């Protein structure tokens, strides 16, 4: 009997985190499929970046979905050009780049895509350890979504979060482990102002990304050891 083909869907934005997850997934699954969402986001260049990287890295298939209805419902600095990205938290304790319901919608649609493909894993680059304050990046949320999707589709599905307990330095170390640090640094788009690579250098996403890169480059051996310890646990 032939071995079953292992398949995974990566929620792929073309940013540092999802690209690192994609690169890792390509070493772990027979087929890796990507799904990218166009929700009228502020930095729309990320869609082009994701499609280019998907072709370059060898995705089995790559679907870009129009979910612009999210833009109509969710008011955020990432959905309204008139709202300036702020480094300060709002009165509710969340950054003004938080898009309410975004990952609920994304993971639901990715789960449906996985169902149609016969994939039993959806990979997302959310992170609780070193994140931007978004409640839909937390482990409890992901576990709740996995339970809902499994119950709603009556099918086993794993929402895999390889970066959940990594800090940004360790995420850079993971990219380096797969000999892709230069690609992630120079060709991904994390910047809230839509600048590829090192970005604008001033928005919250750029500051977090650069600090992680500096921390990794200044102490590679220790960070790699910490990464290996977390990956083995």
- Which residues define the annotated binding site? 12-22, 191, 200, 203, 206
Annotated binding site for Zn(2+): 191, 200, 203, 206
Residue 42 near residue 81, CB atoms below 8 Å: yes
Residue of 24, 32, 29 whose CA lies nearest to 6 = 29
Annotated binding site for ATP: 12-22
The Cβ of residue 64 has, within 10 Å, a number of other Cβ atoms equal to: 16
**Contact residues for 47 (Cβ-Cβ < 8 A; gap 6+):** 14, 36, 38, 64
Structure tokens at 130: 């070193």
Q: Buried b / exposed e across 20-56, counting CB within 10 Å, b at 16+? A: bbbbbbbeebebbbbbbbbbbbbbebbbebbbebbee
The torsion of the CA quartet 207, 209, 210, 216, rounded to 10 degrees, works out to 140
- Element containing residue 37 per DSSP (H, E): strand 31-38
**Contact residues for 132 (Cβ-Cβ < 8 A; gap 6+):** 95, 97, 98, 204, 205, 208
């Amino acid at each position: 009997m032939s071995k079953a083909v292992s398949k995974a869907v990566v929620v792929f934005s073309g940013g540092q985190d999802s690209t690192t997850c994609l690169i890792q997934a390509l070493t772990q699954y027979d087929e890796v499929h990507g799904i990218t969402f166009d929700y009228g986001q502020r930095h729309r260049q990320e869609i082009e970046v994701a499609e280019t990287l998907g072709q370059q890295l060898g995705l089995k298939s790559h679907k870009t979905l129009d979910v612009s209805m999210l833009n109509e419902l969710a008011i955020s600095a990432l959905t309204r050009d008139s709202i300036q990205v702020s480094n300060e938290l709002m009165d509710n304790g969340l950054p003004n780049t938080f898009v309410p319901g975004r990952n609920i919608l994304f993971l639901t649609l990715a789960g449906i895509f996985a169902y149609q493909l016969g994939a039993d894993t959806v990979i997302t680059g959310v992170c609780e350890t070193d994140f931007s304050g978004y409640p839909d990046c937390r482990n409890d949320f992901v576990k709740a979504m996995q339970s809902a999707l499994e119950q709603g589709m009556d099918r086993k599905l794993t929402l895999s979060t390889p970066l959940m307990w990594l800090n940004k330095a360790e995420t850079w170390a993971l990219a380096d482990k797969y000999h892709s640090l230069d690609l992630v640094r120079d060709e991904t788009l994390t910047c809230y102002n839509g600048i590829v690579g090192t970005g604008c250098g001033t928005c919250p996403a750029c500051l977090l990304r650069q600090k992680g890169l500096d921390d990794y480059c200044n102490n590679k051996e220790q960070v790699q050891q910490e990464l290996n310890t977390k990956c083995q646990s």
